[in-house]
A and B are shown apart, each in its own frame.
Chain A
Amino acid sequence: MVHPVEIESVDDVVAGLAAHEYLADEGLATAVFLAMTLRRPLLLEGEAGVGKTEVAKALARWTGGELLRLQCYEGIDASQAVYEWDYSRQLLHLRAVEAGGREVVEDELYSERFLVRRPLLRAIDYRGDVPPVLLVDEVDRADDEFEAFLLEILSDFAITIPELGTFSARVPPLTVLTSNRTRDVHDALKRRCLYHWIAHPDFERELAILRVRAPKVPEQLAEQVASAVSVLRALDLYKPPGVAETIDWAEALAALNRDLLDESAIDVTLGTILKYREDQERVREHGLPAIVQAAAARHA
């Protein structure tokens, strides 16, 4: 177990994450290093499937901190994110007490016993020695009001519950926010955070990721897949394949006992790498042989 403050250099981050199956490049590792040492939240943006969410998961595995994930969506509010009262249990309690012929005092109902702790509260009021990893995933899906609220919490790492008082973190949780940029995250929130744009990996890194994440895939096939994927990304696709799709594709091909990426292999597995029918059509139109050639030409 590593305490976040014990790391000394960016290289420690590269090594620590790699030991937990995440291969970070220099830029991402520097941003993570700074987030850990300066104790600032880290906002990660990038296309779908480039490995944003996985950063937080790997960090939790590495540091030994609990992973607390807050998945954002349109309409999310404090009751999902911070805390909520367990109303059904409160009602039951109310009935039981009254059946016993006693008056109910409001304080009794609004005690920790009836408190449902959601990820943000748990991240701030954590038990244990290692600060948790707080993952605020896909923050671009929440709305402005929620962002403003998040900003407040990420500024003070304190939460006040009127009935119970204020909770605050001894050491702030290691916080990672992700966004797909379906809309801009508010500037004030961005200013609170360190920022890193995760781009699609280059050929070498993608191949290395395949070796780690899909170890059963033969080396030559992995190479061809990695280069075919970079060819596909250069076409005008509606959804260019992310790393997740690269892994799926390589595994699907290996499962079909293919050890070469030829036309027929692409033909039967196209759906695992391209999720939209329009994109599949587009690539067929472009010509599968052209993809095979381009992939092969790359390191001939």
Chain B
Amino acid sequence: MCASTVCPRSCKRPRRAMPELRPMPASPERMVVAFARVLRRRGLDVPVGATVTLAEALARVGVDRRDRVYWACRATLVRRPEDIDAFDEAFDAFWLGHVRAGSQVVVPVPVTLAHDAPDPDPGADPGTDAEEPDAARVTVRWSRAEVLRHRDFAAYTAEEFAEARRLIADLRLAGALRRSRRVRKGRRRRGRPDLRRTVRRALRTSGEPISRAFVEPSQRPRRVVLLCDVSGSMEPYARALVRFLHAAVVGGARVEAFALGTRLTRLTRELSSRDADAAMASAARRVLDWSGGTRLGEGLRAFNDQWGQRGMARGAVVVILSDGWDRGDPELLAVQMGRLQRVAHRVVWVNPLKATPGYAPLAQGMAAALPYVDEFVEGHSLASLETLAEVISR
């Protein structure tokens, strides 16, 4: 049902009755090592230490009962609910020797542009072109970096993109501040007295607490949650925006990143590698529906159910990067946006097409979402991402 998306809800189904275990042809240790290899092939992270623990565990629970073997394997090898489905398939295949129907690796959806309305008539917007500044005339006044800052990502040449990558990597995100219960040493004389420092000072002055130290509550940035649409219609922007996600995750302590397509994929872990290219590669491996269709409503529902509800979105700045072209049900999208907005500190929608004349009314997904958006900003260029960083921090 959900091979790689987070889906704790599906995990509550009881294990169905299964046939007996295959007799073990080899020693338990070798079986364990072989099983770990099968799991790794399916993308689970199985450290060597875990296989050692499993061997110990099997020695305790025995190998004669299928359910005990199953649960011993789960307790030692799985550490995230979203891996349970993949684990179950591998378990059935390996220990029971059969493959579940319909459990083949998900075939990526072919690349299609997810337009939900006929192509806009280019002639439908008379007048806007004329107001556009003449590109050639403007560039003479701007430095190269400046040109790059304002150029639409979709119009980048390969060299420009290579150069922009550096600039994107330098962008930093910080959520708006909020007061926290953590305290820091105060410079001013107010707040709670800091007794630890007072005693240390008193010792120096032989027992007289003449200078009392103070602590004051510090301010912590809010969590920032980035949800980036990676469907086909976003293709011209997705590579730049995912780099932006990477810079944000690496640069900030409380940033979470997700890809939204036909499913929801959490990318925080993949993007937390400092090496941008390695991070991109592992994100690309993780996102199975890259450049596929869009189901914004369902993706947001998955986010709300699996993460938002548990508190990730509570008090956070939630940023959705999407053109709002959606094939799903606009009603569902509106409901999910509503749920999100009720818990988030602020919901920011970043739309790379916002700057495109005549765009807005065409995407029904965007129209359904807008009433629940606190800030609606552009996201087609470096300059607009800088603005975004500012919007997020205030």
Contact = CB atoms under 8 A, between A and B. Distances in A.
A34 B60 contact: yes
Interface string A109-121: 1000000000000
Contacts of A109: 199, 203
Contacts of A48: 310
B8 A197 contact: yes
Contact of B56 (A26, A38, A90): A38
A91 B57 contact: no
Interface of B: 8, 11-12, 14, 45, 47, 49-50, 53, 56-57, 60-61, 67-68, 71-72, 74-76, 78-81, 84, 180-183, 195-196, 198-199, 202-203, 206-207, 209, 220, 253, 256, 268-269, 301, 304-305, 307, 309-312, 314, 335, 339, 342-343
16 contacts: A10-B61, A10-B68, A30-B71, A34-B60, A37-B60, A75-B180, A85-B196, A87-B195, A91-B209, A104-B207, A144-B253, A191-B50, A191-B79, A197-B81, A200-B12, A238-B309
Contacts of B72: 30, 34
Contact of B301 (A27, A194, A236): A236
A191 B47 contact: yes
Contact of A196 (B50, B75, B301, B339): B75
A31 B74 CA distance: 9
Given A88-B195, A104-B207, A182-B314, 14 more contacts: A26-B67, A26-B68, A27-B71, A73-B181, A75-B180, A91-B207, A98-B207, A104-B203, A109-B199, A183-B312, A184-B80, A184-B269, A199-B12, A202-B12
A45 B309 contact: no
Given A40-B53, A87-B196, A202-B14, A34 B75 contact: yes
A194 B311 CA distance: 24
Nearest to B209: A91
**Contact-size category for A:** 35 or more
A236 B61 contact: no
B302 to A, nearest CB: 11
Given A144-B253, A239-B309, A94 B50 contact: no
Contacts of A239: 309
A30 B60 CA distance: 10
Contacts of A168: none
A95 interface: yes
A190 B47 CA distance: 11
Contacts of A183: 256, 312
A91 B202 contact: yes
Interface in A1-53: 9-10, 26-27, 30-31, 33-34, 37-38, 40, 43, 45-48
Most chain B CB inside 10 Å of its own CB: which residue of A46, A85, A88, A199: A199
B78 A195 contact: yes
Contact of B79 (A77, A85, A95, A190): A190
Contacts of B196: 79, 85, 87
Nearest to B182: A75
A181 to B, nearest CB: 5
B207 A278 contact: no
B342 A278 contact: yes
Nearest to B80: A184
Contacts of B81: 45, 197
A71 interface: no
A176 B72 CA distance: 17
A189 B136 CA distance: 56
Contacts of A202: 12, 14
A39 to B, nearest CB: 11
Nearest to B6: A181
A26 B71 contact: yes
A129 interface: no
Nearest to A197: B81
B310 A47 contact: yes
Interface string A271-300: 000000010000000000000000000000
B95 to A, nearest CB: 15
A191 B75 contact: no
The 8 closest A-B pairs by CB, nearest first: A75-B182, A87-B195, A199-B12, A182-B311, A30-B71, A94-B207, A31-B75, A190-B79
A109 B198 CA distance: 14
A181 B7 CA distance: 13
Interface string A59-98: 0000000000000011101010000010110110011011
B20 to A, nearest CB: 16
B206 A236 contact: no
Most chain B CB inside 10 Å of its own CB: which residue of A10, A40, A85, A239: A10
Contacts of A45: 81
A194 B75 contact: yes
